[in-house]
Amino acid sequence: PFWLKEQQQLFQVKAVWMKRVTVIAKQMGAAKESLTRLELGSDGIAKLVLTRPMKLNSLSLSMISGLKQQYTDVVRSGARCILLSGEGRGFCAGGDVAEVREGVLAGNTNPADFFFEEYQLVHEIATLRQSRGVLQIAVWDGIVMGGGVGLSIHSPIRIATENTLFAMPETAIGFFPDVGVTQALPNISAGPHIGTFLGLTGQRLRAADCLYAGIATHFCPTAKLAEAEQRLRALGDGIADLDRVSAAICAAAGSDSPDTSKAVLATNAQAIEQCFSGATSAEDIVSRLEAQGSEWATGVLATLRSMSPTSVKV
């Protein structure tokens, strides 16, 4: 009968459709699982890699949940050192703002869950050495911003390369420097005024500036990172010794130093101190910049005025 033939065709179409859905679901599951990669070695070193290069390794909620479990796995494995890095052009460009926005528009709990989980993860990383005896080494071979700073700024060792681009640009999006950065920036070796300047303006820094500020602890060219890792793995039981780890990285880097042609902090150090040191309010900083009157000060004023006023005040 005609109706039976038509029904069989519908069943065939449905079978093909279900097969395609299954394939897509498997692909999505595989993609979800590959957002990070943990390698546990027998030499006391765990290698943790962010593997979302198409989005500059920006952090999604599922990625953060996965990282929390992987840090737990590292501690349980007995590893004493974590090498944290990212695939592609970005170490980690921050949180996945698009995902958070979608959650807000949909009215679900994903945005709140995201920040709750992220801040828990950052606290775990920040206290990793003190509470777990595990030394984290962050390899900033690319863009490191926002949430990526949170994953790494609290590491005792932070390696910059010629590809490093560091910033905390939260005031540009109506937010504030979170993930423990309001604790970290005031305590950098260049002084709290540099930290205030970076937090308010979102100034982008290359390797030379990161070293000057004390945000990065070491410089190592990308081409020598593999050698640095080999030297670290050769330390054996000394892999948790900060001095020996530092010496191994310096030995790999040799006499190489970062390009200073685009550096901004050392060149403007006196002006930054005059305008940001001991300032009691955003208005105080603006007044100082206006009085300073240099080309640099005019540029910083324009930047501050383009930011969220509420964020700058906070």
31-63 pLDDT, tens digit each: 455 799 999 988 999 999 999 999 999 999 999
Active site includes 95? yes
The average pLDDT across 114-127 equals: 96
Alpha helical stretches, state H, 234-279 = 242-253, 269-276
Q: Which of 96, 117, 170, 209 is catalytic?
A: 170
Task: Determine the pLDDT at residue 74.
Answer: 97
- Give dist(CA 203, CA 302) in Å, integer: 13
* Six token digits for residue 292: 């300073």
Q: Which of 178, 199, 202, 209 is catalytic?
A: 178
Is the Cβ–Cβ distance between 286 and 301 less than 8 Å? yes
Residue type, 142: G
pLDDT tens string 183-210: 999 999 999 999 999 999 999 999 999 9
Task: Determine the pLDDT at residue 41.
Answer: 86
Percent of the chain exceeding pLDDT 70 equals 89
Q: Poorest-confidence range of 39-43, 89-93, 158-162, 228-232?
A: 39-43
Q: Poorest-confidence range of 2-16, 134-148, 176-190, 269-283?
A: 2-16
The average pLDDT across 61-79 equals: 96
Q: Which of 44, 94, 95, 195 is catalytic?
A: 95
- Give dist(CA 276, CA 282) in Å, integer: 9
Candidates 252, 266, 163, 169; CA nearest to 211 is 266
Residue with tokens 């911003």: 145
Task: Determine the pLDDT at residue 293.
Answer: 87
pLDDT tens string 78-92: 999 999 999 999 999
Active site includes 170? yes
* Six token digits for residue 37: 């990669």
Task: Determine the pLDDT at residue 245.
Answer: 98
Residue with tokens 């703002």: 97
* Six token digits for residue 136: 């984290």
C-alpha of 30 from chain center:
24
Task: Determine the pLDDT at residue 314.
Answer: 82
Percent of the chain exceeding pLDDT 90 equals 85
Active site includes 178? yes
Helix (H, G, I), strand (E, B) or coil at 166: strand
The average pLDDT across 124-128 equals: 97
Asked if residue 130 has pLDDT above 60, the reply is yes
pTM: 0.87
- Give dist(CA 149, CA 179) in Å, integer: 8
Q: Which of 146, 147, 191, 199 is catalytic?
A: 147
Asked if residue 273 has pLDDT above 50, the reply is yes
Angle at 114 between CA 109 and CA 116, to 5 degrees: 95
Asked if residue 291 has pLDDT above 60, the reply is yes
